[in-house]
Amino acid sequence: MTDARRPHTVVLALLLLVLAVTFGPAPATAAGADDAWWLPTARPAPDSQIGVTGEPFRGTTPDGRVRGFVDAHDHLFSNEAFGGRLICGKVFSEAGVADALKDCPEHYPDGTLAVFDYITHGGDGRHDPVGWPTFKDWPAYDSMTHQANYYAWVERAWRGGQRVLVNDLVTNGVICSVYFFKDRSCDEMTSIRLQAKLTYDLQAYVDRMYGGTGKGWFRVVTDSAQARQVIEQGKLAVVLGVETSEPFGCKQVLDLPQCSRADIDKGLDELYALGVRSMFLCHKFDNALCGVRFDEGGLGTAINVGQFLSTGTFWKTEKCTGPQHDNPIGTQPSAAEADLPAGTSVPRYDSDAQCNTRGLTALGEYAVRGMMQRKMMLEIDHMSVKAVGRALDIFESARYPGVLSSHSWMDMDWTERVYRLGGFVAQYMHGSEGFVAEAARTKALRDRYGVGYGYGTDFNGVGSHPAPRGADAPHKVTYPFRSVDGGSVVDRQVTGERTWDVNTDGGAHAGLIPDWIEDIRQVGGQDVVGDLFRGAESYLGTWGATEHHQAAVNLADGATATASSTEWNPFTSYAPGRAVDGNRDTRWAADWSDDQWLTADLGATHRVGRVTLDWERAYARSYRIELSTDGTTWRTAWSTTTGDGGLDTATFTGTPARWVRVHGVQRGTNWGYSLYEMTVHSD
């Protein structure tokens, strides 16, 4: 080990060794418990080495900002997902490292039955299954089925400067059901609960090494103030997120939802109570809440098969209406196709139709607004561009900042909208050259909005990681090197009999994050690393703004409304007041002609600077927002000739007004105009 220890008597040392082997973390005395607070008073023996010396940085900058890197997307406990046998190895074990870092039983003797590896990556999946202490073949940058988040490797990432870790609780019921090997239920929420519990168990496990509750470096946090306090102490703030395909049981079968609003409320309340503060609404498969951003290649084919098995339908595409588009759908053959019913095959798709037909559903919108009520942050990666567009419209209409893109799975054309809201963006853990290039592409936006940058490692998330650049690569990492803050020295990481080197091993596990960041510095210079070092502050800025967000007063709520016309229906009222009743299930509808208007009487004169319009399918292509203080003389405050329906937010210079009128000039459809809701705000 690299950790310094005070000498012990021979008898005490032998006794402690026996206790460590038998019970895991055992009482011991670390060097300088007060002046070396970062060293444990106990560590399992044997165990992985850390390979970092020096005190982790604490405190804030002179202007009160925290420092440090943020891994915005990781999956510590996905070995407990997918039936428990897809990701092999554990994050920690009371029985020690040899028990934690061992392969799945079916991978013995040569990896022939590592089915998921060759379904998704090709090849035959063969490998040496032995983990501790030799690690001949795993973990590896291109392995999708082996533990990469052993706790001591996460500790090394912390020691190297990481200060925020988002642990996304993850699973997929369909992958679990079709995978050959499993030892537990495939129910997604059962797995999510278990992974949340194990996160707190890991905190307790680390605490015991440091002498008791609250003393360890691994701290689960549930609000941004708590996270800041943890980081100021030099420790790692761990945030719980959720990335699952059917949250709250919200799957859809043949386009019919299998959940209700009550299920969504109950599910959000449960997740919040578990400590979850961010989540995805859909992942991999279309569900009752939203359509997904597709996967590519052979993995895409396999996921599309899962989509069919889960929902009864394959992905459906259409031509995109804007510059954004979803990923091209994978059409490469996959062994997963054998799971399809006889006579069923994965469809082929037109190359000019790259957008998912499915966006944010009515239930999905209800879930988004439910997250806003609970001050939770929405992850928009994996959502189709149609779903993301609607979610951002909702956030913009409320000026809600809680939006995250944590690992490069949104269309990059959305980046400025995210930053404008106050959201946070992280890039997937690509190789250093690719990471630097993408960071440079968005550098001007970060500078404009004064924000830092993050990375999403997605370890244990069924994705590959940076390949080694080679021992002879230009600007390679030279060991040992200084941490970014300059206070620690980072040497090669050693676990058992294996010594890891980022130049020749790439991003094989979480312990190599500091090495990968040094590789980025060597390739791209200090600027991109500086942006990453400001990532923790920016992430907490988004989280804090989300917590403190206050919904603006809707001046039109319950206002007296009049209209130029009202569509007649013997069964449903489309009266003007339906557009200002605060109920998004009712609407006003006009006759089927162009020149129509809806007016809201606010009851008194107010400063008006923002109007939101939630259009039904019958929307206005061209319309004006008009204001009046007397109900007779009107002033145009805002107008457009390129309306496309959905949710519009018109912002303009605040102006005194009592009456607000939406004046339709040209219809966007053959129907009239129809609004679910009009809201009016001062700012």
Q: Would you say residue 10 lies in a domain?
A: no
The pLDDT score that the predictor gives to residue 471 is 96
Do 626 and 584 form a contact (C-beta atoms < 8 A)? no
Do 628 and 649 form a contact (C-beta atoms < 8 A)? no
Q: Are residues 259 and 270 in the same domain?
A: yes
The pLDDT score that the predictor gives to residue 120 is 66
Q: Are residues 74 and 195 in the same domain?
A: yes
User: Where on the phi/psi map is residue 524: left (φ > 0), alpha (ψ -120 to 50), or beta?
Assistant: alpha
Q: Would you say residue 405 lies in a domain?
A: yes
CA 375 to chain CA centroid, nearest Å = 16
Tell me the mean pLDDT in the region 113-140.
87
**Residue scoring higher pLDDT (618 or 328):** 618
Q: Would you say residue 144 lies in a domain?
A: no
The pLDDT score that the predictor gives to residue 6 is 34
CA-to-CA distance for 498 and 305, rounded, in angstroms? 38
Task: Pull the structure tokens for residue 338.
Answer: 């054998």
Band of pLDDT at residue 285, cut at 50, 70 and 90: very high
At which of 497, 517, 548 does a domain end?
A: 548
C-alpha triplet 141, 143, 146: angle, nearest 5°: 110
Q: Is a pLDDT exceeding 50 seen at residue 607? A: yes
Q: Is a pLDDT exceeding 70 seen at residue 12? A: no
Q: Would you say residue 577 lies in a domain?
A: yes
CA-to-CA distance for 446 and 418, rounded, in angstroms? 11
pLDDT by residue (tens digit) across 185-207? 999 999 999 999 999 999 999 99
Q: Are residues 326 and 416 in the same domain?
A: no
Task: Pull the structure tokens for residue 266.
Answer: 């109950």
Domain of 599, in residue numbers: 560-682
Band of pLDDT at residue 174, cut at 50, 70 and 90: confident
Tell me the mean pLDDT in the region 91-97.
97
- When mean pLDDT is compared across 47-56, 227-236, 294-303, the lowest value belongs to 294-303
CA-to-CA distance for 495 and 150, rounded, in angstroms? 10
Q: Are residues 571 and 607 in the same domain?
A: yes
The pLDDT score that the predictor gives to residue 1 is 40
The pLDDT score that the predictor gives to residue 19 is 30
At which of 311, 341, 357 does a domain end?
A: 357
At which of 327, 357, 387 does a domain end?
A: 357
CATH code (residue 611): 2.60.120.260
Task: Pull the structure tokens for residue 380.
Answer: 């928009």
The pLDDT score that the predictor gives to residue 449 is 98
The pLDDT score that the predictor gives to residue 17 is 31
Q: Would you say residue 263 lies in a domain?
A: yes
Q: Are residues 486 and 631 in the same domain?
A: no
Q: Mean pLDDT in the chain?
A: 93
Band of pLDDT at residue 20, cut at 50, 70 and 90: very low
Q: Is a pLDDT exceeding 60 seen at residue 211? A: yes
- When mean pLDDT is compared across 297-301, 308-312, 362-366, 591-595, the lowest value belongs to 297-301
Tell me the mean pLDDT in the region 127-145.
95
Tokens 């291109």 found at:
142
Query: Can the peptide bond before residue 40 be classed as cis, meaning omega within 30 degrees of 0?
Result: no
Instruction: Give the global pTM.
Output: 0.92
CA-to-CA distance for 645 and 232, rounded, in angstroms? 47
Q: Are residues 202 and 281 in the same domain?
A: yes
Nearest in space to 55 (alpha carbons), one of 95, 3, 105? 3
Q: Would you say residue 117 lies in a domain?
A: no
The pLDDT score that the predictor gives to residue 436 is 98
CATH code (residue 465): 3.20.20.140
Q: Are residues 287 and 300 in the same domain?
A: no
Tell me the mean pLDDT in the region 422-432.
98
Q: Are residues 569 and 444 in the same domain?
A: no
pLDDT by residue (tens digit) across 647-657? 999 999 999 99
- Domain total of the chain: 3
pLDDT by residue (tens digit) across 368-393? 999 999 999 999 999 999 999 999 99
pLDDT by residue (tens digit) across 575-584? 999 999 999 9
Tell me the mean pLDDT in the region 156-181.
94
Q: Would you say residue 6 lies in a domain?
A: no
Q: Are residues 195 and 255 in the same domain?
A: yes
Q: Would you say residue 373 lies in a domain?
A: yes
Q: Are residues 480 and 412 in the same domain?
A: yes
Q: Are residues 414 and 502 in the same domain?
A: yes
Q: Are residues 270 and 287 in the same domain?
A: yes
